[in-house]
Structure 1
């Protein structure tokens, strides 16, 4: 069986630009349709949009992309993000080759209904405003990084069935275009971007929890999400 991504690439083999042939989201080679492969890969890594990184890994192979990555000079945060991405893409391909993906759950998204009433108690919230709360907390981390907001997002994803797909859908729908980067959200909830200096922690709500526990929850969530997204991209289901 030919994977969907390869079928698309074959269909577009005569496309004038490699970014079109690979199905990339942006015109990485807009100024140079004859761009070298390693330069195109480096540009994709620099932008580090997960879906595009996955597509160049599928097309050129993870090993080649990793070699380009090692030669590039990126900042510490970008390197951390790309290291995570490449690890998850590698894991997804290993599972695909081993045939271990059939029993894995697909990425199912709840439909956010924008409940009209939102009530936030001391460290908890009622079920009537959960959809609205997901939206509020998801886009809120782009303006300020508060431990209580990240904790609330953990509870919503852990106990109430919301997924990262729901969160990114909320960000895409309600954030200004310039602030829609999902990698910013991932970096906040996994601790790459620290909480604000004036963050009050959990003292005001008398909650005995450590941020590292919250970060651990989201690290697993992000890893699982990226593995599944890569697998769905491979099969054409994303």
Structure 2
């Protein structure tokens, strides 16, 4: 009976640690959101609405590529054919708050990783616990790289494609601000999390849930899925699809090497 109570207390203590991890992470996000709120003009005018401008750096870059290689010229434009509108009384206030929270999450992401590492570290070896600085640095770099890729590549490609897609000349694009900002935030944040794939594979391999052989065996299916995603979010030209496909493919290949590395390290320690 005493052992049973001890196990129950151990489980409750574990939940208590997790609760404080979530509390500290939430506080960090709120602090980051407060900082973002104070710079909301810059965040909206320069960052959020940047891809709406025909002179956005990505459009200029793709236009130069299209001109040089005689490809689709849809990126060579001065203004995107749509206008933003707010149709609800609290719409802009809601966008201000949720955008600040999203920015707060991005800003505080390294701290959140630190908290998660402390939570899982008791299950790791002593040598692995000493690698926390490398884990934080690599995971943060991958996340910010993914956010940048989503913002500078996927978001402009999606906005340009959807803004120029018309079913009839009688339909005029007046996009709701919630829809536009949702696309920018979701694409950038989701891509940042997708770029954490090598980190996720590392922990799955440590738990024995994924192996390098499994990833190799399903490589062809993964490539097909990546190509489908690239085809959906890009205009119908090869260059754009390649630009989106290559980073995702590289992440998958890196994940295979990580799973292989973990399995070799585990064999050495046993």
The TM-score normalised by the length of structure 1 is 0.27
Larger CA Rg, structure 1 vs 2: 2
Report which of the two has the higher share of helix.
2
